[in-house]
């Protein structure tokens, strides 16, 4: 079996660079391109294990030591545990994805391509960055959604209503009289009615009046909010299980 070390070295360098770059983007690490390249260069030498007679345990220890060295070189000693964990997570995701995309067997008897491994090499160079970029994007969206989700307790006439809510930066509804922000709840939520307050609103090219109730108490993530209104939405929410929309004005207090 022929082993082309220069090709293997370059592939390892490329993959390690993509993994380190992905770790940097996800964790928002402030590291230079020079350190990314240096960490990738060190990672390329992990291929040397094929020339060593190592047991499974020794191989595991060898790879762990190399991974720690790569992370320290790239990001330094700070947050080393978190950096290492995400480096491994990305490695597993990328490895699993590339395994599913391994088409060597499909093209093994192809007459057009003499060496079927060329196909895999092209896939690695093209698809590897795409997989990591897609994961980074989805991770950011997931983190944003989780950050914007909150647990709300609304007390009206001694009745406590617990709802899952989402913070909507586009919800700028406010009572024009007393400048009270408005929390929107799904119209299907039943509340013990108090004297309603009708608040005029204007959004884009739409304007109208929304029926509101002044709550006795509102608690969001165990933090009490005063001087706000509960707006009864005219439409049914189409959210991911949430039945309450928090106003943008709460953003600074909840972050």
21-32 pLDDT, tens digit per residue, is 999 998 888 889
Q: Counting beta carbons within 10 angstroms of the beta carbon of residue 38, is it exposed (0 to 12), middle (13 to 18) or buried (19 or more)?
A: middle
Same structural domain, 130 and 224: no
Q: DSSP code of 181?
A: B
Q: Give residue 147's pLDDT band: very low, low, confident or very high (50, 70, 90).
A: low
CA–CA separation, 133 vs 182, rounded Å? 37
Same structural domain, 183 and 128: no
Q: Give residue 40's pLDDT band: very low, low, confident or very high (50, 70, 90).
A: very high
**233 in Cβ contact with 187 (< 8 Å):** yes
Average pLDDT value for residue range 31-35: 92
Q: Counting beta carbons within 10 angstroms of the beta carbon of residue 44, is it exposed (0 to 12), middle (13 to 18) or buried (19 or more)?
A: buried
CA–CA separation, 155 vs 143, rounded Å? 29
Average pLDDT value for residue range 97-112: 54
Same structural domain, 133 and 154: no
Q: Give residue 60's pLDDT band: very low, low, confident or very high (50, 70, 90).
A: confident
> At what angle are helices 56-75 and 80-100 packed, to 10 degrees?
120
Token pair in block for residue 224: 């009490």
Q: Which of 131, 60, 138 is nearest to 100 (CA)?
A: 131
Same structural domain, 114 and 190: no
Q: DSSP code of 174?
A: B
**Does the model's pTM come out above 0.85?**
no
Q: Give residue 112's pLDDT band: very low, low, confident or very high (50, 70, 90).
A: very low
Please say whether the dihedral angle defined by the alpha carbons of residues 175, 178, 181 and 183, taken in this order, is positive or negative: negative
234, 237, 241, 247 alpha-carbon torsion, rounded to 10°: -80
The CATH number of residue 211's host domain is: 2.40.70
Same structural domain, 23 and 46: yes
Q: Which of 10, 41, 27, 123 is nearest to 75 (CA)?
A: 27
Percent of residues, the chain, with pLDDT higher than 70 = 80
Same structural domain, 35 and 155: no
Expressed as residue numbers, the domain containing 116 is: 5-147
Same structural domain, 187 and 88: no
Domain boundary pick from 100, 116, 147:
147
Same structural domain, 68 and 180: no
Q: Domain tally for the chain?
A: 2
**Helix or strand (DSSP H, E) at 115:** none
Token pair in block for residue 196: 């309603």
Token pair in block for residue 36: 């990314």
> At what angle are helices 117-148 and 80-100 packed, to 10 degrees?
130
Is the pLDDT at 46 greater than 90? The verdict is: no
Is the pLDDT at 211 greater than 50? The verdict is: yes
Same structural domain, 169 and 91: no
């Amino acid at each position: 079996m022929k082993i082309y070390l220069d090709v293997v070295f370059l592939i390892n360098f490329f993959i390690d660079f993509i993994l380190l770059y992905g770790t940097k983007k996800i964790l928002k690490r402030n590291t230079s391109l020079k350190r990314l390249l240096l960490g990738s260069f060190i990672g390329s030498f992990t291929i040397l294990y094929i020339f060593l007679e190592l047991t499974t345990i020794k191989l595991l220890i060898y790879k762990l030591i190399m991974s720690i060295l790569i992370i320290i070189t790239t990001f330094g000693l700070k947050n080393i545990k978190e950096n290492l964990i995400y480096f491994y997570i990305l490695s597993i995701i990328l490895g699993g994805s590339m395994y599913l995309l391994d088409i060597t067997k499909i093209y093994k008897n192809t007459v057009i391509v003499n060496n079927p491994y060329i196909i895999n090499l092209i896939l690695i160079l093209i698809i590897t960055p795409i997989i990591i970029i897609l994961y980074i994007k989805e991770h950011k969206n997931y983190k944003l959604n989780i950050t914007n989700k909150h647990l709300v307790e609304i007390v009206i006439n001694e009745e406590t209503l617990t709802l899952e809510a989402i913070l909507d930066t586009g919800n700028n509804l406010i009572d024009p009289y007393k400048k009270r922000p408005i929390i929107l709840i799904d119209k299907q939520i039943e509340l013990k009615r108090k004297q309603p307050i009708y608040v005029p609103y204007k959004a884009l090219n739409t304007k109208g009046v929304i029926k509101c109730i002044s709550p006795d108490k509102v608690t969001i993530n165990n933090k009490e909010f005063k001087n706000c209104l509960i707006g009864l939405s005219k439409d049914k929410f189409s959210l991911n299980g949430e039945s309450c929309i928090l106003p943008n004005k709460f953003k600074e207090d909840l972050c």
